[in-house]
């Protein structure tokens, strides 16, 4: 009997198959469907810093308007109701998902700067989230802001969220930091319970006919997994935070690689958007089949077996590998 169980953010999970934040986790029915297909946990779609600050700014404006005239003014109360709409809808999704789900439900806060909006983490906790994923997607375009300022801001953000809530916090990171191990160590220090490797960046495409720059979302490809495996393998065993891999996990083999790199869980989104929720069931079946064939009895047994600290030749993860890879290329004869 194969034991697929794992632990992530201190939560016991029946397998490493987690559905990451995406529109497929956006309703109670979706969460039920994913659980039935084999999901061990789900991350709800994000609520955004901009949404939370916009709404609280709207409240400030309404309150000011209210004091300028009379608080009973007819326009005041509808505007006040609007203030909480996005937040209440989110908390309601969380509560109803928790009511029906037998698996952990993680909420997702998406923001880049420390500030009052992080207090929403407390409400997320009160609504019953088993954990909170903090997506820290930011885009540094101001040349006066150095990388260390950005990193310090991110660490401060995590510190503030940790101070608001007692549920475990996972930090979803971008791969584009100068030193991921240094940042990971700082996040460890402020108590991040998990590191989610990595966010995908969505660059706008150029429409050269209409001289327009427009957003474009493409789903991931399995090749995108490699950078995640690389950094998970380097970080494994060096940080207390547990590692989740998101980005390019499409098959059972990708899940196995993620675990062998040191991931507690492997998250799927694009693969399910491509192949439907039933793809998750196929991935789990193939996971079991492969483990049986290779005589593994548990996920724990293989975790970190291809991490930097476990492989006989750690140079594979270092600069030496870069040189070797470049020099291994042989030019093809042109016809
Ligand atoms: C349509 C779509 C919506 C997404 N929405 C969110 C979101 O709200 N919050 C978040 O943290 N990640 C979001 N993601 C990112 C995914 O959770 C995931 O990290 C990313 O797509 C990489 O995993 P994949 O290769 O399995 O797609 C979204 C991805 C897609 C494709």
Cα–Cα dist 259/281, whole Å: 18
Q: Whose CA is nearest to atom 30 of ligand 1?
A: 22
Q: Is the CB of 45 under 6 A from ligand 1?
A: yes
Cβ-contact 300, 3 below 8 angstroms? yes
299 with 5: CB under 8 angstroms? yes
Contact criterion met (CB below 8 Å) for 25 and 42: yes
Say whether 1 sits in a helix, a strand or coil.
coil
3-class SS of residue 83: helix
262 lines ligand 1 (CB under 6 A): no
Among protein residues, the one with the nearest Cα to ligand 1's atom 2 is: 22
3-state secondary structure of 267: strand
- pTM for the full predicted model: 0.91
Radius of gyration for the chain, computed over Cα atoms and rounded to the nearest angstrom: 22
Taking the domains of the chain in order of start, what are their residue ranges?
Answer: 6-310
SS3 call for 271 = helix
Statement: 6-310 belongs to CATH 1.20.1090.10: no
Residue carrying structure tokens 């240094």: 182
Most informative mutation of 17, 18, 22 for ligand 1 (most atoms within 8 A of CB): 22
Cα angle 300, 304, 270 (rounded to 5 degrees) comes to 90
106 lines ligand 1 (CB under 6 A): no
Q: How far is the CA of 21 from the centre of ligand 1 (A)?
A: 5
Give the pLDDT of the chain (335 residues) as one tens digit per residue. Answer: 899 999 999 999 999 999 999 999 999 999 999 999 999 999 999 998 888 887 666 555 554 544 444 333 333 333 444 445 689 999 999 999 999 999 999 999 998 888 888 899 999 999 999 999 999 888 889 999 999 999 999 999 999 999 999 999 999 999 999 999 999 999 999 999 999 999 998 888 999 999 999 888 899 999 999 999 999 999 999 999 999 999 999 999 999 999 999 999 999 999 999 999 999 999 999 999 999 999 999 999 999 999 999 998 888 888 878 888 888 888 876 65
């Amino acid at each position: 009997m194969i034991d697929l169980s794992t632990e992530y953010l201190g939560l016991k999970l029946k397998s490493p198959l987690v559905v990451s934040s995406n529109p497929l986790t956006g309703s109670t029915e979706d969460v039920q469907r994913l659980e039935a297909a084999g999901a061990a946990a789900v991350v709800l779609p994000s609520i955004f810093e901009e949404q939370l600050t916009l709404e609280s700014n709207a409240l400030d404006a309404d309150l000011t308007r209210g004091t300028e005239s009379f608080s009973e003014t007819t326009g005041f109360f509808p505007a006040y109701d609007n203030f909480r709409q996005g937040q209440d809808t989110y908390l309601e999704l969380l509560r109803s998902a928790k009511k029906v789900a037998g698996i952990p439900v993680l909420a997702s806060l998406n923001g880049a700067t420390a500030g009052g909006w992080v207090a929403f983490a407390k409400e997320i906790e009160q609504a019953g989230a088993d954990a909170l994923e903090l997506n820290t997607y930011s885009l540094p375009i101001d040349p006066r802001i150095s990388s260390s300022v950005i990193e310090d801001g991110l660490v401060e953000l995590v510190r503030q969220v940790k101070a608001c809530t007692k549920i475990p916090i996972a930090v979803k990171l971008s791969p584009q930091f100068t030193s991921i191990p240094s940042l990971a160590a700082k996040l460890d220090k402020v108590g991040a319970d998990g590191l989610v490797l990595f966010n995908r960046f969505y660059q706008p495409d150029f429409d050269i006919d209409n001289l327009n720059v427009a957003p474009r979302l493409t789903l991931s490809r399995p090749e995108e997994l490699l950078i995640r495996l690389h950094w998970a393998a380097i970080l494994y065993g060096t940080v207390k935070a547990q590692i989740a891999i998101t980005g390019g996990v499409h098959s059972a083999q990708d899940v196995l690689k993620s675990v062998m790199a040191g991931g507690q869980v492997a998250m799927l989104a694009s693969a399910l958007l491509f192949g439907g929720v039933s793809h998750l069931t196929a991935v789990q079946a193939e996971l079991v089949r492969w483990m049986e064939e290779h005589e593994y009895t548990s996920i724990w047994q293989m975790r970190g077996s291809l991490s930097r600290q476990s492989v006989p030749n750690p140079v594979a993860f270092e600069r030496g590998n870069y040189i070797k890879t470049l020099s291994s290329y042989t030019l093809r004869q042109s016809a």
